[in-house]
Chains A and B, each alone.
Chain A
Amino acid sequence: MPSGYHITEADMSKTFFIDTSRCTACRGCQVACKEWQGFPANKTTQLGWGSHQNPPDLNCFNYKVVKFSEFKIKDRVFWNFFPDQCRHCTEPPCKIAADAHVKDAVVIDKKTGAVIFTERTKKISKGGFLQMKEYCPYNIPRRNEKSQIINKCDMCLERVEAGHIPMCVKTCPTGAMSFGEREEIVARANTRLAVVKKEFPEAALLDADSVRVIYLITHKRDQYHNNAMMEKPLKDASPA
């Protein structure tokens, strides 16, 4: 059990485990997510971009985007995949920022721990939105310019409440993604880390104590797309 996070008896909260050592970047999760949400496609292009990473980043119609990072170490090519999404922080700084503008525009689902952006986010000012973005260590919140709603992954809360697993997890063919009760998932992540470390000594779990979407990476953080980084430590995030 990682330090700094205590599970109480009543805690049935949920957590994802995303094992990037198993990810083949098939992008089934990315597509299933937006299909489930019923989102339209963005107009994407290769001109001036030249990458498989499409759309280039998260946006109000893509709660999940698989990020690609390629590099060479001593003539060996590596291609790291990172299915990026909201981490559902246990103490979400975006909520701290949002609450300062519109109370309860961001709520935490008591049972699952899901961090939910409600329709009230519409009322958050441009400045408030920028602050939410700034507070988020992973650059997650996006705004639908038309509806003004600020949105991001909702943990497929409706599905979870009905006893299903989130769509991205359901779709994953290689077992890179799992979802369940926090205690069990954290244990699984630690077990898996111990195994992966044998092949990749730099392997690590990303911010496992403070998030509900725990990534296992095999290389250093900076060998993944930017958003794998926690741009600033959580403890620095305090209300303005």
Chain B
Amino acid sequence: MTNHWIDIKNTDCCLIIGSNAAEHHPICFKWVIKAKEERNAKIIHVDPKFSRTSARSDVHIPLRSGTDIAFMGGMINYILANNLYFKEYVNDYTNAAFIVGPGYSFNNGLFAGFDPKNKIYNKKDWQFELDEKGNVKKDPTHQNPRCVIQVVRQHYSRYSIQKVSDITGVAPDVLQKAYDAYAATGKPDKAGTILYALGWTQHTVGVQNIRTSGIVQLLLGNMGVAGGGINALRGEPNVQGTSDHAILYNILPGYLPMPRANMPTLKDYNKLTTPVSKEPESVNWWQNRPKYMVSLLKAYFGKNATKENDFGYDWLPKLDVAKSEHDGDASYLYFFDRMYRGELKGGSIWATNSANTLPNTNKNRKALANLDFLYMAEIHQNETTEFWHGPGVDPKKVKTEVFLFPSCHRAEKEGSISNSGRWALWHNKAADPRGKSRPMGQIMIDIMKEVIDLYEDEGGKFKEPIVNLNWYRKYDAELVSKRINGSFTSGEKKGKQLTGFTDFADDGSTASLCWILAGSFTDEDGNKLKRRSLLQTPMQKSIGLFPNFAWAWPMNRRILYNRAAVDKNGQPWDLARAVIRWNGTEWEGDVPDGGAPPMAKKGGKSPFIMLKDGLGQLYGTGLVDGPLPEHYEPVETPVRNHGFSGQLSNPCAKIPTSDLDIIAPPADPNYPIVLTTYSMTEHWCGGSETRNVPSLLEAEPMIYVEMSHELAAEKGIKNGDPVIVESPRGRVEAVAMVTVRITPFRIQGRIIHLIGMPFAFGWTKKGIGDATNRLTLWAGDPNTSIPEYKACCVNIKKADKVTELA
């Protein structure tokens, strides 16, 4: 979230799209309801299914799964065509005036520079035009047809309400009302927020879905302000914390890019990953990246990291260069593909139920059996820990040696968790671990200690990264937090905790495991994750900001990009909802995004300090699949064409090609129904924990499939009937839940049905059903490799007999 949970109460319009907020983030609805009651805010829910979120919204807009860019593109067009954008904000704080280079083009669904063989773009032609000094050329009058706002305007002029209606299935008058309601926040004294979650990310156009919100929020001046922002709802699985600490293959902690093969030395890494901006008003914060990287290496390797050995940079793994859509991709999409192809020997799976929650489960379960060994840490036995004796598997024929470390529960250990608003919060231990279970951190430390000992005693190939680690003796959550914050490793302040970003150096004199959390654990204040004070100034109180409760990265800033919440003189766009304010000598309110004075003053800086040029990017060159979002169908789609271009699906989508990755052709009559999958309030993710909580299993006991009365009538299915759902990849038994909450879609003049299924059920709990993901497909977003769980094609029939349900 750019903002935080409480801040939702400050909004005038809450657009919930790609999220079932009330069910998956129940607490957040406290603030949504407050906004509705206290500000008369409009709550708009855009989602294929009418859910508990829709029930508490002013309007529910059902759209066919996978057509969000059409919906949002229509809104961008509506805002621009009707001149509803916030002019001063767009002029001063976005790249609207930047001139795109002459090589840019967009023809029939493809941007300039596409390489169809390797499914990647060469982004050379997307870049901005530079003057002789190397500065971006600009047209403040916005008349140049190649200036960003004109390029955006032209691109989305194709997204007429009728066309959007035709592909999304939303009636034109409903679209117009929604666009009007949301565009009304494009005024200085109005704020609109966009809440999204996995309903946006889990598509082959996932990142571009989110980009549409970036464009809308910048046009309406909603970034940085209270009640605004782009708010990715992240929840109990600590997605925020795991992202911050890089439980992903392509980043290092603190969102530092993973080194690649074309960066053999630290110098190469710094050169290729550190942005350079010549814009005088740009802070370009990432120019500090080398400091954060060296400090991370110092934290990893301690005294073994020296200037002479590049601080151990050689010891980090390097990803292949992305010469095609799949090169250098070590995400689970290709990991499981390689496992299935027998290219992996063994590994570990921690705290994720891969044999249930990853798409195309039948492939993944086969892949696991190709390993020689697998070790896991879990609280409960689940479909992954037990894969070797799952349905249809003969344990005698599985060669994989499986080790299971019993992990204790969250409540049985202390530690930190980061909430969606980037607050790092400490939690205490409530009870002792049961049996021989231990915290996962302890299990990990002990395993690694053994590995280090083995390498030290026996040697081995490339032992340096292991034996040189600055490893722990025992697990102490607070010690880890201390190291995350970081400390000085030499000089006068040696041993002292870092107080913030400005302490970092690139000469090895500082060490930190995650630079963004610097300032969270200081010598003066101790572990700030434990703070629970409600102390606030009247200004902070007026927007529900609690700076002394826990600690938020970066630097305890509660609303990111808050310098865009004020005009060039540092005065709030909306006094009643002031986030920060320049009082003539300093900033008041939230911790400002950098201490520089307002833009109109001497030394003033542009507000978007994390972006190279300091300005919000209506048009951006950062993503691999296009500088502007464009509607493409899901990889498996019920339509043959979508009317926006001849390019049916994302040309850069990541799709593995094994014999089990079978994909139905477009508009396949054998699989005419759209399936979308989801979680629910009562079960947590893959369900392996919550299925073992009797009162939760009582509340949601069995796999179901939600469908419309119309489809049920067509198929002769009654509510409560057992049914079989089939895709080209698998077959799943479920119970029919026939409901008015799912309505058929009218797409291009014909009816398309959609059904929805939860993925929380699995065979290790008898009779409740098995993995829904046997139906879904491995097809990933080109930027993140996140699979397209939200849309694939299936068929459904009444079951004569069932074996998975009882």
A interface residue numbers (CB < 8 A to B): 22, 24-28, 30-31, 34-35, 39-52, 54-55, 70-72, 77-81, 173-175, 195
- Whether B756 sits at the interface, judged by CB under 8 Å, is no
Not counting A26-B23, A27-B681, a sample of 20 additional A-B residue pairs whose C-beta atoms are within 8 angstroms of each other reads A28-B26, A31-B695, A35-B695, A41-B695, A41-B697, A44-B697, A45-B702, A46-B703, A47-B735, A47-B805, A50-B704, A50-B720, A50-B736, A54-B698, A54-B700, A70-B740, A79-B54, A173-B29, A174-B26, A175-B33
A77 with B740, Cβ < 8 A, contacts A27-B681, A41-B697 known: yes
Shortest distance between the CB of A226 and any CB in chain B (Å): 17
5 A-B pairs with CB atoms under 8 Å apart are A24-B26, A25-B52, A46-B701, A46-B703, A174-B29
- Whether B451 sits at the interface, judged by CB under 8 Å, is no
| In the complex, chain A residues whose CB is within 8 Å of the CB of B52 | 24-26, 79, 81
> Per a CB cutoff under 8 Å, which of B37, B55, B720 touches A24?
B55
Q: Are B699 and A30 in touch, CB under 8 angstroms?
A: yes
Shortest distance between the CB of A174 and any CB in chain B (Å): 5
A24 with B740, Cβ < 8 A, contacts A35-B695, A47-B702, A77-B60 known: no
Q: Are B695 and A26 in touch, CB under 8 angstroms?
A: no
Alpha-carbon distance A30/B681, docked complex (angstroms): 13
| In the complex, chain A residues whose CB is within 8 Å of the CB of B722 | 47
A49 with B720, Cβ < 8 A, contacts A26-B22, A31-B696, A174-B33 known: yes
Determine the residue in chain A with the shortest Cβ distance to B51.
Answer: A79
> Per a CB cutoff under 8 Å, which of B29, B37, B719, B741 touches A77?
B741
> Per a CB cutoff under 8 Å, which of A44, A70, A77 touches B698?
A44
| In the complex, chain B residues whose CB is within 8 Å of the CB of A79 | 50, 52, 54-55, 741
Shortest distance between the CB of B144 and any CB in chain A (Å): 46
Q: Interface 1/0s, chain B 736-768, versus A by CB < 8 A?
A: 111111010000000000000000000000000
Where chain A touches its partner, the secondary structure class is loop
A46 with B720, Cβ < 8 A, contacts A40-B694, A41-B694 known: yes
Alpha-carbon distance A51/B700, docked complex (angstroms): 9
- Whether B682 sits at the interface, judged by CB under 8 Å, is yes
> Per a CB cutoff under 8 Å, which of B50, B735, B743 touches A46?
B735
Q: Are B30 and A173 in touch, CB under 8 angstroms?
A: yes
Shortest distance between the CB of B295 and any CB in chain A (Å): 39
Alpha-carbon distance A173/B60, docked complex (angstroms): 22
Alpha-carbon distance A175/B36, docked complex (angstroms): 13
Q: How many residues of B contact A (CB 8 A)?
A: 41
> Per a CB cutoff under 8 Å, which of B27, B60, B681, B701 touches A54?
B701
- Whether B338 sits at the interface, judged by CB under 8 Å, is no
A52 with B700, Cβ < 8 A, contacts A26-B23, A175-B30 known: yes
Shortest distance between the CB of A30 and any CB in chain B (Å): 7
Alpha-carbon distance A37/B722, docked complex (angstroms): 34
Alpha-carbon distance A40/B694, docked complex (angstroms): 7
Alpha-carbon distance A116/B437, docked complex (angstroms): 42
A45 with B33, Cβ < 8 A, contacts A50-B737, A79-B52, A173-B27 known: no
The 7 nearest A-B residue pairs measured at CB:
A41-B694, A46-B735, A50-B720, A41-B698, A50-B719, A46-B702, A79-B55
| In the complex, chain B residues whose CB is within 8 Å of the CB of A51 | 719, 737
Alpha-carbon distance A137/B291, docked complex (angstroms): 71
- Whether B56 sits at the interface, judged by CB under 8 Å, is yes
> Per a CB cutoff under 8 Å, which of A40, A47, A81 touches B720?
A47
Alpha-carbon distance A78/B54, docked complex (angstroms): 9
| In the complex, chain B residues whose CB is within 8 Å of the CB of A47 | 702, 720, 722, 735, 805
| In the complex, chain B residues whose CB is within 8 Å of the CB of A81 | 52, 55
Shortest distance between the CB of A21 and any CB in chain B (Å): 8
Shortest distance between the CB of A72 and any CB in chain B (Å): 5
Residues of chain B from 54 to 98 with CB closer than 8 A to chain A in the complex:
54-56, 60
Q: Are A70 and B701 in touch, CB under 8 angstroms?
A: no
Alpha-carbon distance A61/B534, docked complex (angstroms): 39
Q: Are B694 and A22 in touch, CB under 8 angstroms?
A: no
Q: Are A46 and B737 in touch, CB under 8 angstroms?
A: yes
Shortest distance between the CB of A124 and any CB in chain B (Å): 27
Determine the residue in chain A with the shortest Cβ distance to B696.
Answer: A31
Shortest distance between the CB of A230 and any CB in chain B (Å): 24
Q: Are B737 and A45 in touch, CB under 8 angstroms?
A: no
Alpha-carbon distance A39/B738, docked complex (angstroms): 31
Determine the residue in chain A with the shortest Cβ distance to B769.
Answer: A46
Alpha-carbon distance A81/B29, docked complex (angstroms): 15
| In the complex, chain B residues whose CB is within 8 Å of the CB of A72 | 740
Q: Are A26 and B698 in touch, CB under 8 angstroms?
A: no
A22 with B55, Cβ < 8 A, contacts A50-B736, A54-B699 known: no
Alpha-carbon distance A116/B362, docked complex (angstroms): 54
Alpha-carbon distance A190/B319, docked complex (angstroms): 64
Alpha-carbon distance A54/B704, docked complex (angstroms): 13
Alpha-carbon distance A40/B735, docked complex (angstroms): 25
| In the complex, chain A residues whose CB is within 8 Å of the CB of B30 | 173-175
Determine the residue in chain A with the shortest Cβ distance to B722.
Answer: A47
> Per a CB cutoff under 8 Å, which of A30, A34, A50 touches B735?
A50
Shortest distance between the CB of A61 and any CB in chain B (Å): 9
Q: Are A195 and B702 in touch, CB under 8 angstroms?
A: no
Alpha-carbon distance A99/B22, docked complex (angstroms): 44
Q: Are B694 and A24 in touch, CB under 8 angstroms?
A: no
Determine the residue in chain B with the shortest Cβ distance to A26.
Answer: B26
> Per a CB cutoff under 8 Å, which of B53, B56, B720, B741 touches A70?
B741
Determine the residue in chain B with the shortest Cβ distance to A54.
Answer: B699
| In the complex, chain A residues whose CB is within 8 Å of the CB of B720 | 46-50
| In the complex, chain B residues whose CB is within 8 Å of the CB of A22 | 33, 56
Q: Interface 1/0s, chain B 258-272, versus A by CB < 8 A?
A: 000000000000000
| In the complex, chain A residues whose CB is within 8 Å of the CB of B736 | 50
Alpha-carbon distance A72/B50, docked complex (angstroms): 12
Q: Are B695 and A24 in touch, CB under 8 angstroms?
A: no
Shortest distance between the CB of A216 and any CB in chain B (Å): 13
Shortest distance between the CB of B10 and any CB in chain A (Å): 17
Alpha-carbon distance A71/B741, docked complex (angstroms): 9
A50 with B695, Cβ < 8 A, contacts A24-B26, A24-B56, A77-B50 known: no
Shortest distance between the CB of A14 and any CB in chain B (Å): 23
| In the complex, chain A residues whose CB is within 8 Å of the CB of B23 | 24, 26
A77 with B737, Cβ < 8 A, contacts A41-B694, A173-B26 known: no
| In the complex, chain A residues whose CB is within 8 Å of the CB of B698 | 41-42, 44, 54-55
Shortest distance between the CB of B381 and any CB in chain A (Å): 19
| In the complex, chain B residues whose CB is within 8 Å of the CB of A48 | 720
Q: Interface 1/0s, chain B 204-236, versus A by CB < 8 A?
A: 000000000000000000000000000000000
| In the complex, chain A residues whose CB is within 8 Å of the CB of B695 | 31, 34-35, 39, 41
Alpha-carbon distance A7/B735, docked complex (angstroms): 51
Shortest distance between the CB of A20 and any CB in chain B (Å): 10
Alpha-carbon distance A175/B694, docked complex (angstroms): 26
| In the complex, chain A residues whose CB is within 8 Å of the CB of B681 | 26-27
